[in-house]
Amino acid sequence: MKSEQKPWFSRLTHAELVMIVVLLFGIFLRLWNFKNTLQFLGDQGRDAMIVAQIFKEKDIVFIGPVTSTGNMYLGPLYYYFMVPFLWMTYPSPLGPAYAVALLSIVTIWLLYRLGREIVGERAAVFAVIFFTFSSTMVGFARFSWNPNPAPLFSLLFIWCLYRTQKKQLVFWVGVSACVAVLMQLHYVTLLTGVVALIFWFKQLREWRSFSVALRKQFVNSTLLALGVFIAFLSPLIVFDIRHHWLNLHSLQSFLATSQQGVASMPFWQKAAKTIAETHGRSLQLFFETTIGKQRTVNTVLLVGVILSLIFLVKRKNESHRLGYQILATIYLVTICGLALYRGSVFDHYIAFFFPVTFLLFGGILSFFSRWKAGWVVVMLSFAGFFWFNIPRLPLNTLGWTIADMNRTSQSIYQHVHPGEKYNIVLLSETKDIYGQNYRYFLTITDRPPLKMEHFGEVETLFIIDEQKIEKDVTNLPIYEIVVFPNHKPAEVYDIPGGPRITILHKHL
């Protein structure tokens, strides 16, 4: 008689079963009530308009979004990523947001598959649980924005770097590609390039111990990696050449400005200030986005994390010592880079670091779990993590949804005559004067608002007042309002549950 074949799920390991359950939760948390929780602000509206122009007008761009500080432009890779997904759902802007959610779901699985190689299976499972249920990670996964895919490419960067240190030198090409991609998501990720150079020079020092074949592979991989890096950044390089190195000069100016407060300090004071700054930056990297801003508690935990990391890096019989060495190096480079930066560091600046955070948490808890008493530490850690994150998961319908924005834009459209030259101004907490989220929905109609270069031709001005604070919005010191020749409202009306619209006509 033939033996009965066991069902497929009975052949899975405990870790794989846990992973499947966690992955299902991850899919739910990233897609539930998606449309009604979607963040669609000025940056998203601007990106959607530019990307729609790419496939509608065949207008290929060579630069990406402008940074919030420094007047620097990112590379256009994120716009290229958006193109097929916006094209599939156009005119709805949901496509790129779904694509970002999909990347986050893929990251969950890869964090397990690649993480078990870097830090071990149990540590990888713990890391995945942290990543899956992190309210910060879930939030980043539920809308389209250039920093949001950074965790995926950061994870791939770590894995490729790990493989190079295992003498699989062809993976330098992957390291180079990941750095080039990350640089186009946010400029803080330049720090990954520093990490890559540290390990590249480390291997260069080992040159004499390489075999002839390995030396040849090192040279070929380095040259190919350099070629890939230049190819990925070529649109931005072309833009800079054509615009007198605008980005390079902006970067130099930004770095100089960020150091103005300490430029005149003696060296020892600068060093002391930088060292002191590493404390706050470390708390942000590890704890403020995972269990909240509790400085005293977080400081104690930080000491524990650093001591545990030193132990894992130094422990000679640690089977995943190399993985922890790489994670420790990324931490040291990142913390030094952020400590030298004097401006505010927002969560999306450090999105690339979160795989490091979760892999380290997973590794430390995995070490404690070797003893029964250590499981108390594991359970308390997850209890505190869930207590902070579960109530903060962005699953509830927003007070003002993307459908409401579309409805408001349609009401403006109905007040516009064919061929009428009009513009909009938004009064909002976001400070997006141009109202680019509303502007996107108007550009998909047959009566789009004027483009920026034609603002001087405006005949009708719509003031969208979300805040409803000012009694007379027509006299606000906003350039588009100030220069408009007529400040007497032709009509004022309210959108139910939304903003107040004030209409100004150039001629009565």
Confirm if 437 and 405 have CB atoms less than 8 A apart. Answer: yes
Token pair in block for residue 347: 């969560």
Q: Which of 350, 338, 300 is nearest to 140 (CA)?
A: 350
* Per-residue confidence band for 260, with pLDDT thresholds at 50, 70 and 90: low
Instruction: Indicate the residue type of 114.
Output: L
Residue 266 pLDDT > 70, yes or no?
no
Q: What is the pLDDT of residue 30?
A: 98
Confirm if 119 and 320 have CB atoms less than 8 A apart. Answer: yes
Q: H-type helices in 165-266, by residue range?
A: 172-183, 190-205, 212-242, 246-258
* Per-residue confidence band for 104, with pLDDT thresholds at 50, 70 and 90: very high
Token pair in block for residue 38: 């979607």
489-494/500-505 β-pairing: antiparallel
| pLDDT per position as a tens digit, 10-55 | 677 888 899 999 999 999 999 999 999 999 999 999 999 999 999 9
Q: What is the pLDDT of residue 275?
A: 78
3-class DSSP assignment, residue 292: coil
Residue 1 pLDDT > 50, yes or no?
no
Q: Which of 78, 74, 76, 77 is nearest to 187 (CA)?
A: 74
Please enumerate in sequence order all residues whose Cβ is within 8 A of that of 485, keeping only pairs 6 or more positions apart, or say none.
506
Confirm if 184 and 149 have CB atoms less than 8 A apart. Answer: no
The Cα 146–Cα 82 span in angstroms is 10
The Cα 348–Cα 178 span in angstroms is 18
Report residue 13 CA to chain centroid gap. 33
| pLDDT per position as a tens digit, 403-425 | 999 999 999 999 999 999 999 99
* DSSP per-residue letters across 433-470: TT-HHHHHHHHTSSSPPPPGGGGGG-SEEEEEESS---
The Cα 66–Cα 86 span in angstroms is 20
Number of helical (H) and strand (E) elements in the chain, helices listed first: 20, 4
| pLDDT per position as a tens digit, 182-211 | 999 998 999 999 999 999 999 999 998 999
**Torsion region of 334: left, alpha or beta (phi above 0 gives left; psi -120 to 50 gives alpha):** alpha
Instruction: Indicate the residue type of 381.
Output: S
The whole-model pTM stands at 0.93
* DSSP per-residue letters across 67-119: PSSTT-B--SHHHHHHHHHHHHHTTSTHHHHHHHHHHHHHHHHHHHHHHHHHT
Residue for token digits 């004097």? 342
Q: Which sign does the torsion angle of CA 382, 387, 390, 392 carry?
A: negative
Q: Which of 127, 189, 195 is nearest to 361 (CA)?
A: 127
For the chain, the structural domain boundaries read 9-392, 402-505
Residue 261 pLDDT > 60, yes or no?
no
| pLDDT per position as a tens digit, 126-177 | 999 999 999 999 999 999 999 999 999 999 999 999 999 999 999 999 999 9
Burial (0-12, 13-18, 19+ Cβ within 10 Å), 377: middle
Token pair in block for residue 473: 């919005």
- The one-character DSSP state at 13 is -
Burial (0-12, 13-18, 19+ Cβ within 10 Å), 108: buried
Confirm if 224 and 305 have CB atoms less than 8 A apart. Answer: no
Confirm if 135 and 394 have CB atoms less than 8 A apart. Answer: yes
Q: What is the pLDDT of residue 11?
A: 75
**How many other C-beta atoms are found inside a 10 Å radius of the C-beta of residue 485?**
11
Region 289-300: mean pLDDT is 94
| pLDDT per position as a tens digit, 312-367 | 999 888 889 999 999 999 999 999 999 888 778 899 999 999 999 999 999 999 99
Region 389-414: mean pLDDT is 96
Residue for token digits 């409805």? 407
**Least confident segment among 290-294, 363-367, 401-405, 504-508:** 504-508
Region 209-216: mean pLDDT is 94
Work out the percent of the chain whose per-residue pLDDT is above 90: 81
Work out the percent of the chain whose per-residue pLDDT is above 70: 94
**Least confident segment among 89-93, 286-290, 450-454:** 450-454
